[in-house]
């Protein structure tokens, strides 16, 4: 019997309609378009508007479209992992809301929180259930509504983040395609540099935490930048070395879209030219768990069966990692 691997057999994405440009941010904080672009590469980002709209409102249309694209009946899906930093509620899991709304009545689901590395952690986790033969159809979601936890008076964070996400279908493969290797890492010393102070069990919401604006994302930019450049570049290079891959063997690098300079540093370390790097940070900003599936969705028609693809991410806490996969299907 051929070895089972977990292959992505379909991808979909969703970005909210409302576009927040850098020029709009100029009216909210002391900043300007050129300054934002030169330091981050971001020109605009999408914002989820409307009452009672959480991350599930991003994930549900992506999953419904994924089911349609892959000709999958909702009841055939056996498992759904939702990678998110901004769940609809503390409980129940956003995955539960997604499965109910999409008709995936036979799927068990849960949320996975690893900040910007969440999608990679979830993809690697789902792959294990496929490789053991336990399940045959698993959906991995990466989505975030970062506008819910961004302080639009804080220039250090509000220019970076946006809302959006996507979903992929994982299925068994016996052709040697799909996930080949993964390297996932975490380091709790990074907590002080990127976190949300209040809202968890350590610091529950009080009037004082609200007055001190502690329910928003906090980032010490320079420290995070230095860790991210080294972390993403090192792990992407490591997964290449471990699998005897040279730069010319790589069809695509799919980096987390946090900062254009971090993306460039990772590509340079790998020796990969810009023509092989998926980039859409200029349109969406940093959608946290959503950046990698959004890239795969936008570039899907350029991916070919057998392509060597490297995914790489770095997130708060700190978390980081890289996955090497062989793309499993040609453009439709």
Give the residue numbers annotated as catalytic, written as ranges: 116, 256, 286
Which residue, among 134, 128, 131, 142, has the nearest Cα to 98 in the 3D structure? 142
Biggest alpha carbon distance in the chain?
A: 62
Q: At what angle are helices 260-270 and 221-242 packed, to 10 degrees?
A: 30
Q: How far apart are CA 45 and CA 129, in angstroms?
A: 34
């Amino acid at each position: 019997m051929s070895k089972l691997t977990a292959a992505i057999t379909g991808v979909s994405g969703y970005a909210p309609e409302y576009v927040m440009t850098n020029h709009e941010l100029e009216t909210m904080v002391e900043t300007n378009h050129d300054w934002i672009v030169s330091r981050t590469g971001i020109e605009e980002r999408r914002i989820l508007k409307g009452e009672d709209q959480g991350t599930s409102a991003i994930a549900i249309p992506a999953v419904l479209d994924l089911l349609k694209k892959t000709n999958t009946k909702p009841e055939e899906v056996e498992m759904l992992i939702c990678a998110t930093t901004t769940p609809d509620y503390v409980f129940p899991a956003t995955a539960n809301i997604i499965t109910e709304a999409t008709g995936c009545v036979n799927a068990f689901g849960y949320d996975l929180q690893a900040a910007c590395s969440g999608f990679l952690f979830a993809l690697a986790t789902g792959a294990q259930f496929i490789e053991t033969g336990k399940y045959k159809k698993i959906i991995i979601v990466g989505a975030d509504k970062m506008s819910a936890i961004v302080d639009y008076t804080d220039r250090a964070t509000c220019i970076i983040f946006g809302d959006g996400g996507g979903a992929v279908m994982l299925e068994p493969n016996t052709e040697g395609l799909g996930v080949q290797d993964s390297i996932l890492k975490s380091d709790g010393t990074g907590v002080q540099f990127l976190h949300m102070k209040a809202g968890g069990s350590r610091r529950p919401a009080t009037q004082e935490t609200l007055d001190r604006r502690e329910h928003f994302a906090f980032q010490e930019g320079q420290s995070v930048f230095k860790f991210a450049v080294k972390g993403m570049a090192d792990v992407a290079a490591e997964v290449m070395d471990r699998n005897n891959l040279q730069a010319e063997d790589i069809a695509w690098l799919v980096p987390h879209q946090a900062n254009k300079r971090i993306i460039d540093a990772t590509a340079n370390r790998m020796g990969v030219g810009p023509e092989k790097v998926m980039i859409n940070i200029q349109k969406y900003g940093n959608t946290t768990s959503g950046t990698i599936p959004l890239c795969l969705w936008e570039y899907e028609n350029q991916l070919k069966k057998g392509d060597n693809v490297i995914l790489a991410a770095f997130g708060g806490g700190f978390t980081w990692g890289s996955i090497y996969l062989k793309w499993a299907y040609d453009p439709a």
